[in-house]
């Protein structure tokens, strides 16, 4: 999925972001994610987690330096980076808007000018990857919320991303579809970065945790080290995972 020459999947150096109204969303973020690594960003509401994900493929433009697989995030490189960074929004309805699931999944490849047979092959593979094979002709309006979440992930997979960034992938899911998302993350060989309040999901999927609060990195480290630190979590309005309470 990525070249052996890439030593870093995501590199952030003093990255900041200020909203148009002057609100400082992120301040001096320094961060590094390795190819193939799975990491979670945690923090209270308003910590800047979702904003950070949106910086990685150019939806929002930061101050500071971001490199994706050692390519500088810039106007010149933006189109190339967007094809390698897949962002899955918290609400799947922000990504599913076509008459059928096939059309939703084919949207990206078609707009990149891919041939019909290649597009069909990618759609079929992506649906199989998330367990929705046979859903091509169905409408997202007739899917459950959990199925729409899986379809949203599949719509990103058709672009063959190197990095997939997911905003609250298990929020509002029933236990069955929560488990399916966890299983997909663990099966995937993609580099994954996700934001979540689902602490127990993190213990099953991620090797690394970064704690954000008030737009800054408060702590970073191996999953157990961060998520077993009750004092650190409580100081940042978070709780221990249920399995460790």
CATH number of domain containing 146:
3.40.50.300
Instruction: Report the pLDDT averaged over residues 27-54.
Output: 95
Evaluate whether 165 touches 85 at the Cβ level (below 8 Å): yes
CA 96 – CA 244 distance, rounded (Å): 37
179-183, Cβ contacts within 8 angstroms, sequence gap of 24 or more: 180/130, 180/131, 180/146, 180/150, 181/149, 181/150, 181/153
Each residue's pLDDT tens digit, 110-152: 988 899 999 999 999 999 999 999 999 999 999 999 999 999 9
Tokens of 80: 């190339």
Evaluate whether 217 touches 64 at the Cβ level (below 8 Å): no
CA 38 – CA 215 distance, rounded (Å): 21
Highest mean pLDDT among 4-8, 82-86, 204-208 belongs to: 204-208
Tokens of 59: 């939806």
Instruction: Report the pLDDT averaged over residues 15-42.
Output: 95
Residue with tokens 């500071």: 64
77 by Cβ neighbours in 10 Å (0-12 / 13-18 / 19+) ranks as middle
Q: Which residues contact 207 (CB under 8 A, 6 or more apart)?
A: 37, 38, 39, 222, 223
Confidence category of residue 82, pLDDT binned at 50, 70, 90: confident
Residue 179 located in a structural domain: yes
Per the prediction, the chain carries an average pLDDT of: 93
Query: Residue 80 has what pLDDT?
Result: 86
* Domain extent at residue 88: 36-59+83-238
Query: Residue 140 has what pLDDT?
Result: 93
Tell me how many domains the chain contains: 1
Query: Residue 2 has what pLDDT?
Result: 45
Each residue's pLDDT tens digit, 177-211: 999 999 999 999 999 999 999 999 999 999 999 99
Query: Residue 79 has what pLDDT?
Result: 86
Instruction: Report the pLDDT averaged over residues 217-225.
Output: 97
Residue 1 located in a structural domain: no
Query: Residue 5 has what pLDDT?
Result: 65
Confidence category of residue 158, pLDDT binned at 50, 70, 90: very high
Residue 53 located in a structural domain: yes
- Tell me the percentage of the chain whose pLDDT exceeds 70: 98
4 by Cβ neighbours in 10 Å (0-12 / 13-18 / 19+) ranks as exposed
Residue 148 located in a structural domain: yes
CA 82 – CA 68 distance, rounded (Å): 10
Tell me which of 61 and 212 has the higher pLDDT.
212
Tokens of 236: 């940042």
Instruction: Report the pLDDT averaged over residues 87-116.
Output: 93
Q: Residue 20: pLDDT above 80? A: yes
Residue 232 located in a structural domain: yes
């Amino acid at each position: 999925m990525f070249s052996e020459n890439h030593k870093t999947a995501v590199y952030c150096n003093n990255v900041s972001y200020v909203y148009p109204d002057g609100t400082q969303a992120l301040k001096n973020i320094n961060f590094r994610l390795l190819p193939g690594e799975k990491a979670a960003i945690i923090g209270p509401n308003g910590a800047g987690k979702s904003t950070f994900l949106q910086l990685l493929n150019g939806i929002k433009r930061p101050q500071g330096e971001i490199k994706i697989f050692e390519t500088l995030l810039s106007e010149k490189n933006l189109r190339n980076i967007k094809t390698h960074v897949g962002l899955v929004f918290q609400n799947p309805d922000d990504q599913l808007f076509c008459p059928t699931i096939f059309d939703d999944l084919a949207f990206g490849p078609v707009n990149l000018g891919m041939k019909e047979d290649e597009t069909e092959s990618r759609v079929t593979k992506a649906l199989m990857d998330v367990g929705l094979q046979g859903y091509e002709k169905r409408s997202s309006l007739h899917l459950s919320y959990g199925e729409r979440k899986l379809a949203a992930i599949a719509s990103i997979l058709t672009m063959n991303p190197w990095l997939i960034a997911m905003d609250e992938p298990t929020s509002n899911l029933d236990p069955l579809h929560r488990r399916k998302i966890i299983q997909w993350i663990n099966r995937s060989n993609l580099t994954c970065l996700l934001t979540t309040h689902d602490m127990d999901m993190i213990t099953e999927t991620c090797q690394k945790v970064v704690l954000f609060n008030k737009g800054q990195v408060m702590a970073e480290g191996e999953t157990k080290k961060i998520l077993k630190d009750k004092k650190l979590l409580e100081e940042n309005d978070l709780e221990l995972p249920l399995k460790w309470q």
